[in-house]
Structure 1
């Protein structure tokens, strides 16, 4: 696949996508999580790239939503779907599901939606677990400072910096240079085979194959991935368990590996490593405390000791330049030795040093008497270096072991999270289908004969999801249209909500999703033109633009669904009826499907040069001043208007009025109302 052929993908983005293991596969399956893992690509950008790739894959020209109102309906439906997601990923992923005229694309999403509807794992526990699931991230800021690579070759130096950027790479001339590095780093890895057999103090490893096995040299790379994503992986594990999903890997093994890893990427749960870490961190404090222990004990001994020195002895000591140290050696030798021993034992016990470490620690306090007692900083420095080196060697070994345990699970871990995130997408669709009592629609291909036109759409028991009322309070609507029809009806009778229902059903059908109805059959359309009701009469320029748009439909709109709400408002009523009649004639001849809501249905039918279908949303009557309406349009029926119903009601009431007390006429004569009613016939 030529990545730059995808809409919205340029050279820079294509290079980023090429860093993925299999970008083509990720794009084809709509894997937003994997695409978003490419450097510099956000989740929202990934969704747009995937959408472009899907269009290219299905040869989808785009533009199904041909008008502002059609796009508004899609956005409102998408918002309803996204509101039922838990993760940000699922909300972004839903944006890759869009209305398309492509049969293969509709079939693909329908298969996905059917699986979603069949899910039976939507529980509070699953939703709670999903809250912590996010797309995995590859950390790019791993640096290891206590280890370095060394080489004598400039070319190998460049290769090493590129292959293992986490470590410093140093150029040395000979073994002496290697020895100098060993004094500054806990571990030095020599890349040149020429250093094999050279004996150098410190942890120096000769690894000519190091660049071929970077995970072994710098296990922090792999562990950082798991440490950075630990919470997300643990949440994905919980989702799989609660939802009963088939996992991509051994959940117990992955969970065990994660439990052995600290948030900073270090290995957890090793007592010896913990001991060494504490010893290094607390060395200075423990040494100072040991000094205090010795000095406090020696001070008490001095205060308790009655020291007597004869004049000849004092003179002899002074002549030799002796000071307090000599006096301590002569008079308090045993007490000093005990004080120093207490300092040594305190240091060893406080740091829990092993015998080898304790041997060095004991030399931190010498046998030569001094007051106050002070540690030997050179010995402390040596002890710190040895403890650090031992700690790093053990940490490195543990990291390598853990990285090896987790090495083969990285792709499975990605899939584990991806499956959990995709479950959220499916559950959102399932919730939408359940809450709006949806069904999967039947999609029909356009008729290829000139006989009776195929059904444009047939909706049984539909309820518009765009209405704000609770679903149970919405009257179900049955409506079927073949060709072009006029829809008449009383004000506030539900004509616009019927158009919204039709638009919603058609948009969801072409998205491949379930629709809010008991049963639906929809012709596969090329595009949807939904014109909302205009506010007031259009000026000449806007009127001209509207007429041009319908002229384009008349020329090439045989695969279009056209929904129009009260087009007569664009100009004077008399002219509107003529224009609408002409538009209907052109669309009918072209084989388009359409519904035009109009209060001028009668006038339009009279002006059209063919038998225009007029359907009506019939009002049963007025009850306590409120319309009582049959929301399902009646086929081939011109619905009565609200004024007609009001006049009819007045006529009935006038006929029932009692005769006036003087024997004259009723309070209101029904004759006037009857005359008005005749005008409606």
Structure 2
């Protein structure tokens, strides 16, 4: 795949994508998490790249949302979906869902959405999703106690690329290996030419070392799983709490994670813990053991009367003897007991085995001295023995665990990826449930003669837009408080009605349903038959009369639409506000005539529906949101537009109310003006 052919992808980004193991799959499926693993690519950037790749695959020019208001409605709808995500990944992933005029893309997402709507938004699964994030790759793993060695420049480059965690040293001969062995605990020569060398130290000749990373540098796998342990555990919990079917043994993976500590070292091994504690506590234990011996010896001296005759004292002085000789002669048993106590204390404090205990006993010698002091050479040897045993066991455990976890690495990736994708599916499922959505039926655009264009599910359906029981999700009230709306339009139509009767919210409903349909997602309605349009032009109500320049620009925009609007859906809210009412009626009539000739579909909300209908040179459909009357000053409205009906205005209703309440010719005559 030519990455630079994706819209918005340059040479630098293409190079980053090339470093991924399976970039093409990630681009085709919109796998934002996988794309974000490329160097320098954030999750948001990954979503934009995936969106560009999808557009290219389906030959989508990205021009479906043709106006600012259309784009606003899309962002509002997308925001409602994002509000129902748990992870930041799912929120970014939703950015790859966009309204498209390409039927192949719409059908692709519809298949996904149908499956998503079958998902059960279990509370436990949603709670577990809070801990799931895309897996990260530790970039700072460095191993300093071993190195690779080679005499070949080409192998040097290969080894450096294969194992960046290790130093790779260039040597010429066995002498070079010997020098490295003095600075590293382990030297691994990767050239066959070194086979059979006899060098002091831990020097191994392993030509295939770079092919066995889990064994040679187990820290790689351990660091990866240590950094992502909580995320993987959360993904495991998601699978257990949901209907996801994992393709690996969750218990085995979880058990392997239990054997790993937060810092990437093996956990749960009693022997390693014993050795580690012994090394860490050695100095403190030695000091405590000295104190035990000296305290015991002092107590023995206090409790005994030691008599030294003059001749004996003179002899000791002449011999240069000191207190040690006195201890040896008078307190030999007590001294031996004190030393034995020190030894036992050291052995018990460090929990030493028999071999280690033998070395530890030498830390306190037989020769009497006061105060009792340890033998530093013996302690150094004990420290070296404990450290070597600890390191050997840690290395073996690391290698074993790394090999086990290396086999689980791809399983972990799939688990996390599936959990993150579940969050996307659940967002769609929850949106559909919250707004009582259904999957719309796709129909062909309305025929030019106004007839039906397609037969689906055994019945004829008009092209364009047909919504039954639709509730706009854009209203700032609970969905259960929104009056359901039925509305159908198959060509161009005017929508009339009283102020605050719901004309704008009806346009918003149509826009939201059409946008969701073209996203391939469920729509907030009991039933919906929607044609696939090439683009959506939604013009919001203009605030105030436009000046000459802005008016000219608006007319030009509609001129372009009128001459090339076939396959377009046009929604316009009170275009008459752009200029004087008389001129507005003529302009709107002309626009409707052009759109009708081009077989476009459109709904124009206007208070000048009657004037426009009289001005237009074709029979304009006028639908009306009918007010049923005023009750206690409150307007009672049937929110579903009545087909082919010019709705009465609010002033007419008020005059009618007054005429009924007062026996006055004025109100009656005034009411006749509306007829």
**TM-score in terms of structure 2 length:** 0.94
| Alpha-carbon distance in 1 for matches of 2:55, 2:128 | 33
The answer to which of 296-305 and 83-92 deviates more is: 296-305
**Match in the other structure for 2:225:** 226
Match in the other structure for 1:673? 667
Structure 1 counterpart of 2:458: none
Do the aligned partners of residues 342 and 152 (structure 1) sit closer, same or farther apart at CA in structure 2, a change above 3 Å counting?
Answer: farther
Indicate whether 1:215 and 2:214 are aligned: yes
Q: Distance in 2 between matches of 1:432 and 1:381?
A: 68
Decide whether the 8 Å contact of 1:186 with 1:392 is kept in 2: no
1:545 maps to: 553
- The whole-number CA distance in structure 1 between the counterparts of 2:297 and 2:151 is 55
Change (3 A) 1:278 1:173: farther
Preserved CA contact (<8 Å) 1:186 1:388: no
Q: 2:522 pairs with 514, 521, 530, which one?
A: 514
State the alpha-carbon separation in 2 of the partners of residues 171 and 302 from structure 1. Answer: 65
Structure 2 equivalent of residue 471 of structure 1: 479
Aligned equivalents of 2:166, 2:368: Cα separation in 1: 46
Which of 495, 504, 525 is matched with 2:503 structurally? Answer: 495
Farther off after superposition, 313-322 or 641-650: 313-322
- What is the match of residue 64 of structure 1? 64
| 3-state SS, counterpart of residue 370 of structure 1 | coil
**Structure 2 Cα separation of the partners of residues 298 and 541 of structure 1:** 107
Asked if residue 348 in structure 1 is aligned to residue 314 in structure 2, the reply is no
Q: Does 1:606 align with 2:614?
A: yes
Deviations 1:546-575, CA, capped at 9 Å, x for gaps: 111111101211121110100011111111
Contact kept, 8 Å, 1:248 with 1:413, in 2: the verdict is no
Alpha-carbon shift at residue 19 of structure 1 (Å) = 2.1
Deviation at 1:464, TM superposition (A): 0.8
In structure 2, the CA distance between the partners of 1:2 and 1:154, relative to structure 1 (3 Å rule), is closer
Does residue 1:20 correspond to 2:20, yes or no? Answer: yes
Structure-2 change in CA distance of 1:378 and 1:432 (3 Å): same
Match of 1:138 in 2: 137
**How far, CA to CA, are the matches of 1:423 and 1:327 in structure 2?**
83
Instruction: Please state how far the C-alpha of 1:170 moved relative to its aligned partner.
Output: 4.5
**Shift in alpha-carbon separation, 1:339–1:186, aligned structure 2, 3 A:** farther
The within-5 A match list for 1:389-408 is: 389-408=388-407
Q: Which residue of 2 aligns with 1:373?
A: 372
Taking a change above 3 Å as real, the CA distance of residues 305 and 153 of structure 1, as seen in their structure-2 partners, is farther
Shift, 1:611, TM fit: 1.4
Say whether the 8 Å CA contact 2:448–2:599 is kept in structure 1: no
Evaluate the alpha carbon distance shift between residue 580 and residue 628 of structure 1 in structure 2; reply closer, same or farther with a 3 A threshold.
Answer: same
After TM superposition, the structure 1 stretch with the greater mean CA deviation from structure 2, 372-381 or 504-513, is: 372-381
The alpha-carbon deviation at position 122 of structure 1 amounts to 1.7
- 2:272 equivalent in structure 1: 273
Counterparts in 2 of 1:568 and 1:108: CA distance versus 1, 3 Å: same
What is the DSSP-based 3-state SS (H/G/I as helix, E as strand, rest coil) of the residue aligned with 2:364? coil
| TM-fit CA distance, 1:218 | 1.0
Distance (whole Å) between structure 2 residues aligned to residue 164 and residue 365 of structure 1: 46
Q: What secondary structure sits across from 2:96 in the alignment? A: coil
SS state at 1:144 partner: coil
- Residues 324-371 of structure 1 show CA distances to partners (whole Å, capped at 9, x for unaligned) of 334434443433333222222221221111222222222222333332
**Displacement after TM superposition at 1:316 (Å):** 4.6
Distance in 2 between the 1:232 and 1:403 partners?
18
Residue 196 of structure 1 deviates from its aligned partner by 4.9
Residues 389 and 148 from structure 1, CA distance in 2 versus in 1: closer, same or farther, beyond 3 angstroms?
farther
2:301 matched to which residue of 1? 302
Between the aligned partners of 1:180 and 1:343, the Cα distance in structure 2 is 41
Q: TM-score, normalised by structure 1?
A: 0.93
Q: What is the deviation of 1:113? A: 0.5
How far the C-alpha of 1:493 sits from its partner, in A, is: 0.9
| 1:616 Cα deviation from its structure 2 partner | 1.0
Superposed CA deviations along residues 224-269 of structure 1, whole A, max 9, x for unmatched, are 2112111111111111111132102111111111111112111122
| Partner in structure 2 of residue 632 of structure 1 | 640
1:620 partnered with 2:614 = no
Q: Which residue of 2 aligns with 1:573?
A: 581
Unaligned runs of 5+ in 1: 656-668
Q: Secondary structure at the match of 1:21?
A: coil
Q: Distance in 1 between matches of 2:23 and 2:219?
A: 26
Could you tell me how far apart the structure 1 residues matched to 2:574 and 2:594 are?
A: 18
Question: How far, CA to CA, are the matches of 2:247 and 2:36 in structure 1?
Answer: 20
How many residues are matched? 666
Match of 1:105 in 2: 105
Residue in 2 aligned with 1:257?
256
Residue 590 in 1 paired to residue 584 in 2?
A: no
What does residue 523 of structure 1 align with? 531
Q: Distance in 1 between matches of 2:328 and 2:171?
A: 50
Q: 2-side partners of 1:102 and 1:447: how far apart?
A: 18
Q: CA deviation at 1:529?
A: 0.8
Answer yes or no: is the 8 Å Cα contact 1:453–1:483 preserved in 2.
no
SS for the counterpart of 2:662 is: helix
Structure 1: distance between partners of 2:496 and 2:90: 41
**CA distance in 2 between partners of 1:148 and 1:378 (Å):** 30
Q: Note the C-alpha offset of 1:595.
A: 0.5
Aligned to 1:115: 115
The Cα of 1:203 is off from its aligned counterpart by 4.3
